Each structure stands twice: as structure tokens, then as C-alpha cells.
């Protein structure tokens, strides 16, 4: 044994085929898929994105980690990893959406988008056929785009249709389409939730098609509530990984990714220890993946510019609410195991975007609300409810910014009051839990994904971080794509 080893020097670990960095659902999916293909995989759970157990945000009220709603879950990953057998289940398939408008009217859209026009007919008979025709045509287009959204390089659509759909604004495609302006408001809110740009700005329409292209619980364009929320999905993935032999390590001490002759060769830790592996998959953010672990000097200049793209000034905020008692509004109280959406008027939404851009937070804004306690017992005391509210758009600020938190809390109270009139006084506690930067236009995000996943100039380095996910963090498609690329690379002896 060398003197170095005798002195207890850093450990260099070999015999590993692939290292996966991160703790997100996509990183777990990538690790499990690689292990299933026979690779010896080490998953290093590091950085953000780690799902935690439910946390008590007010006495007796618990918040489940992660969004309980899935709009797009990659069926190939579910099948390949047999996730239903590993514990993935849905608390509710075909989730209804209860939409409340600025004039106080309500619309209950069924979980199956194909029959949404029946609900629309109750609000505007003249629009029922138009809505049915629009949804039918656009779901077909969305179906043709589904593989492209989830990572295929090619798109099975004529260039004319692609240019129209990808460049149009929501207003270009929707304004004047329906007699009842509230249907326009609903579709605008649905697509603008999470987006950085106003619905009147170009390239925003594609977000609606992305939403329609999603597939959760076997229904295109439908929504499903995962049992246990994002944590439930992650637990199923972790079980699948462990069954395939993935070694999971939890550490925040990863220092860098080792690069030798433009190929990755493993990861290095703070103490000098290394895990040598020819393949690395990262589910961390692009900046961590490439700038922190590789360094700008080793990256292609054009590629590095992709990492410098300015972050949006607007964001979405997630707020947990403790609701002490049944909702006063009978329409809203009829069922809590559904999704609630406040669709602001165009004027309200424009104002909210302006205030968010100016660094503030207006009200009302788009509000998506679920009651996790309606899907999972034990999250709230008997007769009470725990609500999770996603507010958009607000200014992008750190959670520690007290004045901003106060504004978000005020906006949450307004949103709750709009969604469940007469019930705002039931809120006994309120916690601003997370803030997520708004997404760039979908086509721009897809273009960025293509650059980030394919042009770093480093062989053996695969990316499935948040910037590779189009359509939410629970889709798993980015993890699947990264694992497919990694497997091809590994099997061809380092030639992708």
C-alpha cells in the first residue's frame, strides 16, 4: 500500500459506469433507467430539487412537498420502471377544474377535455360548438407535437403550421374566437400560468398546446393528482432505482466534474475523493451542471452564452394555507378534490404582469389552488383543509425578502377570497413556501433545451436539469432522454 493510502488520503472509487447528480424526479428516473439497462450507477443526491417529507407549516397543518398535480407523465418511464408496482398511484385521475372568473361566475370543466364543451354550453351555449371544435383541432395538433415537446429533435408538422403555432401569441389565436370573453380569459390563464411573457406577446400560444399535449394517467390533456404528490412519484422512482441496484448517496460535497481530453471521467469531492465513471448525468440546474462543476473555461463560447441568458423578472409563488373550517361558498365547497383556477380579466392580468415586472406583486393574479388534504389524509385537522396555492405572476425575489412576502401573502388572501368567496376569514395561517422563476416561451425553452442537452462539447456528460424539462418538473421525459443518450454513448464505447 502506498504511503498516501496509509495516511488515509482521498478515496478514488472505480468500477462505476455512470454517476447521476441531483435529487429531482428526472435524475432519479435517469438513474433507474440506466441501472435497469445493466449499468452500475451511483446516484449522488446533491443540490436543490430534493423532495422532503411533509412539513408542518402551521399547528396541525402539513404541506406535501412538490406539486400534487401532474399534467404530463412520461408513459415510457412508467412502463419501463414498472412504477405502478413500485408504489405510484393517483389519488384522483381526470381532475376537474373549477374556474372562477373576475365577475364571480364559475365554470366546472370535467377532467376529460373532450367533453369540456358540455360545461361551456352551460355558460355560453353559442360557444359550445366553437369550443369543441377548437379543443378538438388543437388537441390533434398537440398530439403531433407531443414527442417534440418531450425531446424529439424532429417535429411531424408542416412548416406553415409550426410557424403559425410557435410564433403566435395567445391573443392572436384566441381573441375574438368565442362570444363569451370568459372562455378567452380561462384559456389565457391556463397558458399564462408559469410563463414569463404576457399573453399578448409573441410565442406564448405554444404553452397552451404543450398543456394539451400532456398525458397524465393515460388521458391526453388531462390532469391527475399523484398520491403523495411529487414525493409520491419520487419515492416510486427511488424504489425502482434501488431495485435496479442504484447506489444512492446523499452529499453536498461534490466539488467538480473531472474532464479529461474533452470527456468526463468522474466527479471529485471536496476532500479530494473521486468516483471515476465514463458517463455523468446531471439533473441539477444548468448553471450548477456546467459553470460550477465544469467551469466556463472548458466550455464552448457559444454554449456558455446559453448559460448567461437573463433570468425572467417574474415568477410564480407557492403558498400554503391553513383553512380552518368548511368553505362558505357552496359551489367551491362541493368538492375539494379538484383543481381550482382563478382566471383574471385581461386588465387584471396585464396589471399583474406590469407590477411583477416592476418588482412588486399585484392582486388579483392567476391562482391555481389544490387542497392536498383532500387527496391525502392527515394533512389537516378534522373538518379543516390544507391548501396549496400557486400564484402567478409575482416579482422574482428571494423568500427572505419580507416586504415581498407580505405582498404575496396579501395576494394569496385575495386569490383565496376570489376562489372561495366568503371564506377568506377561514385562513388561520399562511406560508410562502417557494418561488420559481417564470419559464421563457415554450419554443425558446425547447431551443435552449436542445443547446443544453447537445452542445456542451463534453463527451459523456448528459443533462436533465430543470431547463431540460418542458411542461413541468414531474414529466420524467428529460430523465428518459438523458438516460437514452447516456446508454447509447456507453454502449458505443464512448462514441455518441
Chain residues binding other proteins by CB under 8 A are 130, 163-164, 166-169, 171-172, 175-177, 196-198, 200-203, 309-310, 347, 350-351, 354, 357, 440-441, 443-444, 447, 451
User: What are the cell numbers at 132?
Assistant: 369543441
Nearer to other proteins, 429 or 444 (CB): 444
Closest CA to 465 of 23, 73, 71, 65: 23
How near is the Cβ of 394 to other proteins at its closest, in Å? 16
Residue with cell 410557435: 166
Nearer to other proteins, 192 or 412 (CB): 192
List the beta bridge partners of residue 435.
Answer: 317
Nearer to other proteins, 56 or 129 (CB): 129
How near is the Cβ of 316 to other proteins at its closest, in Å? 18
How near is the Cβ of 176 to other proteins at its closest, in Å? 4
How near is the Cβ of 454 to other proteins at its closest, in Å? 13
Q: How many CB atoms lie within 10 A of CB 53?
A: 10
Size of the chain in residues: 496
How near is the Cβ of 367 to other proteins at its closest, in Å? 20
DSSP SS3 for 9: coil
Nearer to other proteins, 85 or 354 (CB): 354
Nearer to other proteins, 217 or 365 (CB): 365
| CB 111, CB 93: distance < 8 Å | yes
Residue 181 CB partners (closer than 8 Å, separation 6+): none
Distances (CA, A) of 251 to 22, 211, 268, 454: 10, 35, 12, 27
Strand segments (E) across 110-253: 215-216, 219-220, 224-226, 247-250
How near is the Cβ of 457 to other proteins at its closest, in Å? 16
Residue with cell 459506469: 17
* Share in percent of the chain as helix, strand, coil (round to 5): 40, 25, 40
DSSP SS3 for 313: coil
DSSP SS3 for 353: helix
Alpha helices in 49-93 (DSSP H): 75-81
Nearer to other proteins, 53 or 358 (CB): 358
Residue 52 CB partners (closer than 8 Å, separation 6+): 65, 231
DSSP SS3 for 329: coil
How near is the Cβ of 129 to other proteins at its closest, in Å? 12
How near is the Cβ of 90 to other proteins at its closest, in Å? 35
Nearer to other proteins, 196 or 223 (CB): 196
Nearer to other proteins, 144 or 434 (CB): 144
Amino acid at each position: 500500500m502506498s504511503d498516501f493510502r496509509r495516511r488515509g488520503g482521498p478515496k478514488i472509487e472505480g468500477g462505476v459506469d455512470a454517476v447521476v447528480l441531483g435529487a429531482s424526479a428526472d435524475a432519479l428516473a435517469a438513474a433507474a433507467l440506466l441501472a435497469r439497462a445493466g449499468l452500475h450507477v451511483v446516484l449522488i443526491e446533491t443540490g436543490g430539487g430534493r423532495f422532503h417529507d411533509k412539513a408542518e407549516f402551521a399547528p396541525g397543518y402539513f404541506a406535501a412537498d412538490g406539486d400534487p398535480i401532474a399534467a404530463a407523465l412520461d408513459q415510457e418511464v412508467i412502463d419501463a420502471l414498472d412504477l405502478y408496482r413500485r408504489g405510484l398511484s393517483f389519488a384522483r385521475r381526470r381532475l376537474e377544474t373549477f374556474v372562477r372568473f373576475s365577475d364571480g361566475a364559475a365554470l366546472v370543466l370535467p377532467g376529460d377535455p373532450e367533453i369540456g364543451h358540455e360545461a361551456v354550453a352551460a355558460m355560453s351555449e353559442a360557444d359550445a360548438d366553437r369550443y369543441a371544435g377548437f379543443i378538438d383541432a388543437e388537441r390533434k395538433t398537440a398530439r403531433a407535437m407531443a414527442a417534440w415537446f418531450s425531446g424529439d429533435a424532429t417535429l411531424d408538422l408542416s412548416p406553415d403550421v409550426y410557424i403559425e403555432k410557435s410564433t403566435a401569441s395567445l391573443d392572436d389565436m384566441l381573441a375574438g374566437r368565442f362570444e363569451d370573453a370568459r372562455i378567452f380569459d380561462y384559456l389565457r390563464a391556463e397558458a399564462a400560468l408559469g410563463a414569463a411573457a404576457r399573453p399578448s406577446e409573441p410565442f406564448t400560444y405554444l404553452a397552451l398546446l404543450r398543456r394539451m399535449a400532456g398525458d397524465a394517467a393515460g388521458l391526453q390533456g388531462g390532469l391527475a393528482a399523484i398520491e403523495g404528490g411529487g414525493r409520491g412519484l419520487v419515492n416510486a422512482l427511488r424504489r425502482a432505482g434501488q431495485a435496479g441496484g442504484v447506489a444512492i448517496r446523499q452529499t453536498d460535497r461534490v466539488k467538480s466534474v473531472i474532464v479529461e481530453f474533452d470527456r468526463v471521467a468522474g466527479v471529485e469531492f471536496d476532500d479530494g475523493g473521486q468516483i471515476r465513471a465514463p458517463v455523468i448525468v446531471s439533473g441539477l440546474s444548468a448553471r450548477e451542471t456546467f459553470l460550477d462543476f465544469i467551469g466556463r473555461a472548458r466550455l464552448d463560447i457559444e454554449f456558455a452564452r446559453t448559460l448567461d441568458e437573463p433570468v425572467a423578472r417574474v415568477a410564480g409563488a407557492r403558498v400554503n394555507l391553513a383553512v380552518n373550517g368548511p368553505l362558505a361558498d357552496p359551489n367551491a365547497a362541493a368538492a375539494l378534490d379538484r383543481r381550482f383556477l382563478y382566471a383574471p380579466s385581461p386588465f387584471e392580468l396585464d396589471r399583474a404582469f406590469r407590477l411583477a415586472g416592476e418588482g412588486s406583486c399585484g392582486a388579483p393574479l392567476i391562482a391555481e389552488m389544490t387542497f392536498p388534504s383532500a387527496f391525502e389524509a392527515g394533512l389537516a385537522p378534522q373538518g379543516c383543509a390544507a391548501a396549496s396555492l400557486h400564484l402567478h405572476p409575482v416579482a422574482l425575489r428571494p423568500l427572505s425578502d419580507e416586504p415581498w412576502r407580505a405582498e404575496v401573502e396579501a395576494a394569496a388572501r385575495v386569490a383565496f377570497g376570489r376562489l372561495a368567496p366568503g371564506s377568506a376569514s377561514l385562513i388561520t395561517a399562511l406560508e410562502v413556501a417557494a418561488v420559481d422563476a417564470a419559464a421563457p416561451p415554450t419554443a425558446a425553452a425547447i431551443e435552449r433545451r436542445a443547446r443544453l442537452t447537445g452542445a456542451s462539447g463534453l463527451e459523456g456528460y448528459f443533462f436533465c436539469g430543470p431547463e431540460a424539462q418542458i411542461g413541468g418538473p414531474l414529466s420524467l421525459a428529460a430523465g428518459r432522454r438523458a438516460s437514452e443518450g447516456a446508454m447509447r454513448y456507453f454502449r458505443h464505447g464512448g462514441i455518441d
